[in-house]
Amino acid sequence: MNIDKKGGIFVLVQVMLFVVYTVPIRTLNFSCSSSFSLLFLVPAVVGLIILFGSILQLRYQLSPFPNPLDRGVLITRGFYKLSRHPIYSGILLSAFSYALYSCSIVKILISICLLVLFYFKSAYEEKLLSKRFVAYQEYKKQVGRFFPRIIR
C-alpha cells in the first residue's frame, strides 16, 4: 500500500478530531432533560455495533488510510451491503448520538466536522477503490455512501 500525502492528512485530521472529541469541555453544554438525553444512548450503541462489526468484516484489510491494501479484496456483504463506508457510519452515528446524550455543543460541532471529513475522505477513497476494483462502480450505484439507500 502506498500511503500518499493526502491520505496521511486525512488520517491526521481524523485523529485530531477524535482527541478533541474526548476532551471534557462543559462550558458549551446546552440544557436537556435526562429522559431526552437517554434516548440517544440506543443509537450510540447501534453505531458502536456497526463500527466494530464492520472492522471485524475487514479483518486483515483494515487501515486508517484511504488507500486500498495490495492484498485487499472488495467486500460487498454484511454491513458493506448496506453502506459503502460502514465504519464511518458507525462513528458518525455514535458521535452525533453521544453528543446529544451529553448535551454538548462542542461534541455536535466536532461530529459535523467528522461528517465533512468523512465525506471528503470517502470521496478520495472511492477514486482509489474505483481504480483498483472494476466492480466498484456498480457497487457504488447500488449502495449508499454512509447509510442505506431507501429510494433507488
Q: How confident is the model at residue 51 (pLDDT cuts 50, 70, 90)?
A: very high
The dihedral over CA atoms of 115, 121, 124, 127, expressed in degrees to the nearest 10, equals: -70
State residue 29 phi and psi, 5-degree precision: -80, 150
Q: What are the DSSP calls for 63-118, one per residue?
A: -SSSSPPTT-----SGGGGT-S-HHHHHHHHHHHHHHHHTTBHHHHHHHHHHHHHH
* CA-based nearest residue to 133, from 61, 73, 56: 73
Q: How confident is the model at residue 39 (pLDDT cuts 50, 70, 90)?
A: confident
CA 122 to chain centre: 9
Please give the residue that has the higher pLDDT: either 108 or 35: 108
* Cα–Cα distance for residue pair 20/56, rounded to 1 Å: 26
Q: pLDDT digit string (tens) for 99-145? A: 999 888 999 999 999 999 999 999 999 999 999 999 999 999 999 99
Q: For the ranges 4-8, 16-20, 24-28, which has the lowest average pLDDT?
A: 24-28
- pLDDT at residue 1, rounded to an integer: 57
Domain spans, the chain: 36-62+74-144
Q: How confident is the model at residue 27 (pLDDT cuts 50, 70, 90)?
A: confident
Q: What is the DSSP letter of 62?
A: -
The dihedral over CA atoms of 47, 60, 125, 120, expressed in degrees to the nearest 10, equals: 30
Percent with pLDDT over 70 in the chain = 97
* pTM attached to this predicted model: 0.91
Average pLDDT score over residue span 80-109: 95
C-alpha cell of residue 91: 462513528
